Structure 1
Amino acid sequence: MSFFGIGLHVIVALFFAVHVVRTQQNMYWLLLLFAFPLLGSLVYLFAIYLPSLRQSRGARAASRAITQLVDPNRAVREARVNFDRAPTVEHRMRLGAALLEAGQPDEALEHYQAAANGPFATDPALLLGMAKAQFAVGQYAAADASLGRLFAANSQARQQPESALLYARTLAALGSPAARAAFEQALACASDAAPRCLFADWLAAQGDELDRQRANSLYAEIAQDARHWPRHAREHNREWLMRAQAALAGAGARR
């Protein structure tokens, strides 16, 4: 079978050659693909291409989603078994993280608080996990205190997307006037659409016309950017895109 006089095996080899260049593989693969298109393509498929798909962000996200759907308690169960076998601080923190991810922040907080009573009290991962659990159960002042200890122990955490956004949301929940600056900081180091959407939600609730205009601008940015997102980014930001679209539709209906 051929297309425009070019054999299908040559087209496949060209496809893999583009993958070699884009992923910066060793250039000897190009020699193999062009010298032996059929055999080289088969070798490259199983040696490089398929393993790279399994390691891609989209594949990992899909794998986690499938695991969560088929066995939603697997991560908690495995973390609990490991902690029961060896109740170390590390295993306790992993159990806390699994519980938090599974929507069980109350028990997660118990583990983080227990882990904090010892030499790991200033561990950045522990402090962030504890702040997330405290925020999830509505202990906003405690979450603010934990984040304060986190920033004191690791100043770089202020520029990290997850902790910066959590800090802004915590200040917003406390009604602090510093929430605006914190959201701006979270926006500056954002890696996804969440900070823009949550900041826009906060701005829209302020009752000021300029804030509402800024909120609509942020919602519109999310909707515009979504047109160019790859599939994994669209899946990752699905919630924020839906919220932005709903807010824009509501704003249009009020005009």
Structure 2
Amino acid sequence: MIFLVASICIQIICAVDVVRSGRNQIWMLFIFLFSLAGCFAYLMLEVLPAYWGNRHLRTARSQVVGKVDPERGLRRARADLDLAETAANQIALGDALLDLGRFAEAEAAYRKGLALGPGQDATTQVKLAQTLFELGRSRDGLAQLDGVPEVSRGSEWDRRALLRARMLADIGEDAQARLLFEDVMSRYAGEEARCHYAAFLLEQGDRLRARQILEEVEQRARRLDRTQRAAQAEMYRWAGERLAELRKAAA
């Protein structure tokens, strides 16, 4: 009896979805004629394909895959490289290694990719500079960044400037770093620049300005949807914890 009731309820839910979504009414026949088998076919062939392209579902799926199998991208990159040792495949390998925090290996891959390439690859040169920074070699990173062809002011210019500000802060050029952070923060999309700047300010002991920046991050985060926040969950968690500490200290 319970199975029969559950079956009828599932059929009704599927039928209502057909009507509300405006899908082909022929599904009503399958749902009521074949019971659970018809419902299963409807879900597999109509409902799931429609939602699979949804950006929220894609994000959730990629996050799950990343946690369950973090080296999946690395294996794919190495498989592609085994098939063809090209500049693009070496750079893709570098990207996968960089994402995993394996910076020394990423540096080697990027250098091989640049050597195999036909000419200057500004994007990869910037990635190499970032890798050097992550390795604690900020002076080498700055030298690498200085050799990258200039671009006009825009998102790419700001991205490079943020990296430069972080490297300047790392080598103790605090005044230059602060000026550059302030400049980039006024234009850089997202909250990454603000969080890096707040971390720098906290190291400098400027708790008041750091709190102002983190409160801006908090206010902006409230206007984001769950998927947007989830993409940088660790960053927002860090910002929330530091802001809570600053507020507690000021109370």
- Superposition TM-score tier, normalisation by shorter sequence: 0.7 to 0.9
| CA apart distance, 1:50 | 5.8
Mapped partners of 1:10, 1:158: distance in 2: 44
* Residues matched between the structures, number: 221
Where does residue 229 of structure 1 map in the other structure?
A: 224
Does residue 251 (structure 1) correspond to residue 249 (structure 2)? The answer is: no
**SS of residue matched to 2:147:** helix
| CA apart distance, 1:61 | 2.6
Where does residue 197 of structure 2 map in the other structure?
A: 199
Asked if structure 1 preserves the Cα contact closer than 8 Å seen for 2:126 and 2:145, the reply is yes
> Alignment partner for residue 170 of structure 1, among 167, 191, 202?
167
Mapped partners of 1:157, 1:189: distance in 2: 9
> Alignment partner for residue 183 of structure 1, among 178, 181, 184?
181
TM-score, structure 1 normalization:
0.74
Asked if structure 1 preserves the Cα contact closer than 8 Å seen for 2:155 and 2:188, the reply is no
Where does residue 207 of structure 2 map in the other structure?
A: 212
**SS of residue matched to 2:24:** helix
Mapped partners of 2:45, 2:184: distance in 1: 40
| Larger deviation, residues 86-95 vs 187-196 | 187-196
Mapped partners of 2:24, 2:118: distance in 1: 54
Per-residue CA deviations over 1:120-151 (Å, capped at 9, x if unaligned) read: 5521221122112111111111111222223x
Amino acid at match of 1:123: D
TM-score, structure 2 normalization:
0.75
Where does residue 242 of structure 1 map in the other structure?
A: 237
Mapped partners of 2:55, 2:158: distance in 1: 18
Amino acid at match of 1:136: E
| CA apart distance, 1:119 | 4.7
| Larger deviation, residues 114-123 vs 85-94 | 114-123
| CA apart distance, 1:105 | 0.8
| CA apart distance, 1:158 | 6.6
Per-residue CA deviations over 1:133-179 (Å, capped at 9, x if unaligned) read: 111111111111222223x2434577455433222211211222321
Asked if structure 1 preserves the Cα contact closer than 8 Å seen for 2:86 and 2:116, the reply is no
Unpaired runs of at least 5, structure 1: 1-6, 14-36
Amino acid at match of 1:171: L
After TM superposition, list the pairs within 5 Å mapping 1:80-119 onto structure 2.
80-117=78-115, 119=117
Mapped partners of 2:183, 2:76: distance in 1: 36
Where does residue 68 of structure 1 map in the other structure?
A: 66
Mapped partners of 1:91, 1:246: distance in 2: 39
Where does residue 144 of structure 1 map in the other structure?
A: 142
Amino acid at match of 1:172: A
Asked if structure 2 preserves the Cα contact closer than 8 Å seen for 1:121 and 1:127, the reply is no
Mapped partners of 2:54, 2:181: distance in 1: 30
Does residue 134 (structure 1) correspond to residue 132 (structure 2)? The answer is: yes
Unpaired runs of at least 5, structure 2: 1-14, 28-42
**SS of residue matched to 1:60:** helix
| Larger deviation, residues 118-127 vs 238-247 | 118-127
Per-residue CA deviations over 1:54-97 (Å, capped at 9, x if unaligned) read: 34443333222222222221111111111122111111111111
Mapped partners of 1:161, 1:55: distance in 2: 31
Asked if structure 1 preserves the Cα contact closer than 8 Å seen for 2:142 and 2:167, the reply is yes
Mapped partners of 2:52, 2:192: distance in 1: 26
CA gap of 1:9–1:53, structure 2 versus 1, over 3 A, is closer
| Aligned-pair Cα RMSD in Å | 3.0
Percent identical across equivalent pairs?
30
Structure with max Cα Rg: 2
